[in-house]
Structure 1
Amino acid sequence: MNLNLSEEQQFIQQTAADFAAKELVPNAAKLDEGKGKEEFLANIKQLAELGFMGLNVKADYGGTEAGTIAFSLAITGLARGCASTAVTVSVTNMVAEVIQAVASEEQKKNYLPKICSGEYPAAGFCLTEAGAGSDPSGMKTSAVRDGDSWVLNGSKAYITSGEYAGVFVVWAVTDKDAPRGKGISCFLVERDTAGLTVGRAEDKMGQKGSATNPVYFDDCRVPASALMGTINRGYQVALGELAGGRIGVGSLALGLGEAALDYARDYAKERQQFGQPISNFQGLQWMLADAYTEMEAARLLLMQAAFTKESGGDFGKQASMAKLFATEAANRACYTGLQILGGHGYNREYPLERLARDVRITSIYEGTSEIQRMIIARSIL
């Protein structure tokens, strides 16, 4: 693996960093207070125009075709400015990739340009249910064939960008008599389809600018052509895409951890106690040294997983290792940064309080840390 970034990768990394500093940072605190929605949507549109909504999608469908490494770099850079924006970009890319991987040519030509261009502000990944989170094979949402249509009934929970998505990839049981996980298919369902209702956004601890909604299907009728991929083989598709999504979440966590540490470092060089900057004290120096070392290790794990995926290799274990380590280390980094700020870190006037809340979910969504350990252990054993 060559650790030197290509010119294109460096350009995407720098573009993400510049956009985060100029456009995302000024709006991040407002989003956390329930404001700044118009600016958020405008930023999402701008990112689509810059090519960030289809980073691993072929140019034939409007994508950037930059690859998984560039995707990871972009999400890290955006997360340094605003986690809510970064997760919207990450999940929308994940939906675009699953459409590119398994959809028909007609479906690709119809939906991918709309996602990549920003015509759809976002796209939704409808897998999780209230009773099927870590074990999505236990889902209850069903799809029944009725003539030239499929009729969907059920509900999905915690859907990122639910209220912004123009299209959803929806998993549903199509053979209730099949063994667990074997009778599930996936469908492309447009936002304005009759019978699809997006519920009220969840009132969350962090990442408040990213709408997280329940999605309900009540006799939601879609054409037979909405089936994506092979019937009753959708569960395997979901598992494969979740592995790629873990690279995105790990990259997001890395960006949050870096932002927290950089702010705490700069603060420590300015803050005076006992007649000198607190950065002179070895206790704080070692806190920063350990945390920055963990962030660098997280970066290398993420690059390994991204490189393996981009090279066409089996990257599932690497993605789980990267997601596990990066998210846990980023949680520690944000709390280390908050501790260095002392009482100021607990004050909403400073960004550490928000970063500590934003980072917490990264070790939960796209598979909890406990699930990642199960995946890694299975691979090892």
Structure 2
Amino acid sequence: MAYETLKEEVINYGKQIGIDKIGFASVDEFTELKSRLKLQQESGFKSGFEKGTIEERTEPTRLMPEAQSIIAIALAYPTKLKDAPKSVKGDRRGNFCRASWGKDYHHLLRDKLEKLGEFIKHKVNGFTYKPMVDTGELSDRAVAERAGIGFSGKNCAIITPEFGSYVYLGEMITNIPFPPDSPVDDGCGECTKCIDSCPTGALVEGGRLNAQKCIAFLTQTKGFLPDEYREKIGNQLYGFDTCQVVCPKNKGKDFHHHPEMEPEPELVKPRLVPLLSMSNREFKEKFGDMAGSWRGKKPIQRNAIIGLAHYKEVSAIGELVRVMNEDPRPVIRGTAAWAIGKISTKDGFEEIKKAMVKESDPEVLVEMEKGLAFQSIHV
């Protein structure tokens, strides 16, 4: 079979199953990416969530020796939330980023890739493939860029001409020598809006990210959030969108092609206080289908506490005191103590002092001291 003809059939089938954009790339070594990854490693900018060695991440044939091409796919996701609930005094809400709206995109893209794989299997004897979405060794962005899905923006996202950067990416390595597509000839030009708008300076330069400073990454960590980022995180429970929202290429982009991606307002902007008493089972039942639940409830609850401190939500003091006194996890107890101090009520400070008498964890005691330090500011 002529591979050009097969390629057209794959593209047409992709459209039938709801793939918004599809591209084809060679399996040549990603040499530029390899040097960037080495620099990231040397600079201490990695997130720690990366899979595989630098060689595995840049040499497709290490992952599949018979590899001859890569198929890249993109699915556009919605950006506008209808009937968004308001976060108001006495009823504060948190925020999940757009990439966590609807069903977990990892499952959606894997399903599309598996369907694509089965389609090609019926066409070609001996067809083999290796699909991956986000958690695989290959860089989804590097593959998508090479496959002509879009260009790599200064905000470290793939920006497509049609959908902006609001796309989920996935790919499959194949043993078929599909003719490769050409990269998109576009770029950010002189625009630096994403870099200028990054609240923590995580975008150290165009296309280069210090993941350790990125709010999207910080919301997913499980330990105490470093002091310098607590105010900057605001009411974010998971992820961060500003570097995409300010991008001129994203202006007016809002696509509702996939019913599974439609957000439920009460899930993507949940009340903060009820999150603090949620059991593991309740959390899984409510948020388990979302991409933002992958790290479990602990980071979400810690971020919810920080959100209440951000709002200085006095009505939450009672629940925060309960958490400070009763929660078995030091990170949650300590963050609650800090938040009580940040909200700064007389009763709150007294509760921290009482809790200190029975607290034995040194890290929690440090957070309690931080909480009491707000007293001198609000005397």
TM-score exceeds 0.5: no
Q: Which structure carries more strand by proportion?
A: 1
- TM-score, normalising length: structure 2: 0.23
RCO (CA 8 Å, sep 6+): is it higher in 1 or 2? Answer: 2
Greater helix content = 1
TM-score for both structures, normalised by structure 1: 0.23
